[in-house]
Amino acid sequence: MNGRKLSRRLILVLLAALFLLPWLAACQLPSLSAPTETPTITPSNSPEPSPTPTDTQAPTATFTPTATAMPSSTPPPSDSPTPTLTPTLYGIVNANQRINVRGGPGTSFAVIDALSPGTSANIIEQDEATGWYHIQLDAETTGWVSAALLLVETPTPPITVVPTADYELLLDIPIVDLPAAHAGATAIAAATDEAAALPTATAPPTAQATLQVATPRRDVDVFAFCDDRAFGISPPTGLTNGSTIRIFWGWFASSEALVWQHINNAVHALRVNGTEIADLDNFRLTPRQDGGQYVVYWYVPYGPLTAGSYEVSYRVSWQSAISDGYARYGPGTNTEFEEESCGFVVR
């Protein structure tokens, strides 16, 4: 009985195993066998993978600082034009007594100083409304005087002759004795008749030296009283061979009638290096009003000049006594004549 039961159980187990075997195969259940040893991966010497190259920004150029030149003490020359010098105006007191210098252009201003006859002063400006001159008394003081009491003259700027390189070269040219040179040339020519001429080296042509000559100046004004330093007008400078001049002087009076009184009675004498110039009244200008006074000028042309020293002498006397409104002149007065001079050099 027990044997039958055992056989049945065995049959049932086998049937169940047959039934379950395909299902287990389909499910691929892990094997119950002993685990096999997993092979170990051995590292090889294969090169490591390199990263994919990307666009690399080009390095920016770096400027290397260079040595900076230290500024020199001398500033570089500029293209600024050379300033032109303006001639200074001089005024000379033309009166027989001291004149008032006022604080403004007119007699309504207070008197601040006085100037003696013949005193010179620099003129700063002229008031157009009154005609009065603004003058420089000293470094810090200025004042005003009537134009009628000043003889105004503008000095003529001298001409400066700048020697050129050619001029310097001319100074080194030797002096040649022409007769001796001609004799030598004749002797050489005679010698060449006896023998054939040998070839000689040809000297390069020498540069011709030129002398820059200063241009003569025309109608340079020369004050006949320039030797009298009290007037403050210097003798002319920069005169060269061929220049011409105008010798001038003037006479002031308080009225036009007194100016004509002087013209009708004055006897003028003008000489240059002792030679008298005639017919001076031909060079007299028309009397005119100058501020509160009247004046007449003479401008006598002379020249052309040659190189040398010159002495201008001037003398005036009167046929009868006259007045300029401030003093008397002529026979029987304290001033029977006046004499002045001016010396200068022509190069």
Domain containing residue 135: CATH number:
2.30.30.40
Write out the residue range of the structural domain in which residue 146 sits.
86-154
- For residue 308, is it within any domain? yes
- Between the ranges 7-21, 102-116, 252-266, where is the mean pLDDT highest? 252-266
Does 241 map to a domain? Answer: yes
Tell me the pLDDT tens digit for each residue of 307-345.
999 999 999 999 999 999 999 999 999 999 999 999 999
pLDDT at 87: 56
Note whether residue 318 is domain-resident. Answer: yes
The pLDDT of residue 46 is above 50: no
Place of tokens 């002319």: 236
> Does residue 249 lie within any of the structural domains?
yes
Reported as a pLDDT band with limits 50, 70 and 90, residue 24 is: low
Domain co-membership, 219 together with 119? no
Residue 136 lies in a domain: yes
- The pTM score is 0.43
| Average confidence (pLDDT) over 168-182 | 39
* Residue 203 clears pLDDT 70, i.e. is over it: no
With cut-offs at 50, 70 and 90, classify the pLDDT of residue 34: very low
**Domain holding 317: CATH number?**
2.60.40
The reported pLDDT for the residue numbered 213 is 59
Domain end position, chosen among 135, 154, 173: 154
179 CB-near residues (< 8 Å, 6+ apart): none
- Residue 248: its pLDDT value, please? 95
The span from the first CA to the last CA of the chain, in angstroms, equals 177
| Comparison of pLDDT for 343 and 31, the residue scoring more | 343
Residue 8 lies in a domain: no
DSSP 231: G
Tokens 């320039």 sit on residue: 226
Alpha-carbon distance 134 to 150, whole Å? 11
Residues 229, 324: one domain?
A: yes
User: Both 341 and 220 in a single domain?
Assistant: yes
pLDDT at 120: 80
For residues 23 and 297, the model is more confident at 297
Residues 218 and 343 reside in one and the same domain:
yes
CA separation for the pair 141, 38 (Å, rounded) = 122
* pLDDT at residue number 154: 55
Q: Decide if pLDDT at 189 tops 60.
A: no
In this structure, the answer to whether residues 138 and 226 fall within a common structural domain is no
Of the given ranges (113-117, 188-192, 252-256, 291-295), which has the lowest mean pLDDT?
A: 188-192
Q: Is residue 251 part of a domain?
A: yes
Q: How far apart are CA 24 and CA 17, in angstroms?
A: 10
Is residue 254 included in any domain, yes or no? yes
- The structural domain count of the chain equals 2
Q: What is the average pLDDT across 288-309?
A: 94
**Is the model's pLDDT at 160 over the cut of 60?**
no
The better pLDDT of the pair 238, 80 is held by 238
> CA-to-CA distance for 262 and 322, rounded, in angstroms?
7
Do both 225 and 319 map to the same domain?
yes
Q: Where are the beta strands (DSSP E) in 94-186?
A: 99-102, 111-115, 120-126, 133-136, 142-145, 150-153
Look at residues 104, 134, 154 and tell me which one is the last residue of a structural domain.
154
Whether residues 223 and 336 fall in one domain: yes
Q: What are the backbone angles phi and psi of residue 52, rounded to the nearest 5°?
A: -65, 125
Share of the chain above pLDDT 90, in %: 40
Contact 254, 143 (CB under 8 A): no
* Last residue within a domain, chosen from 106, 129, 154: 154
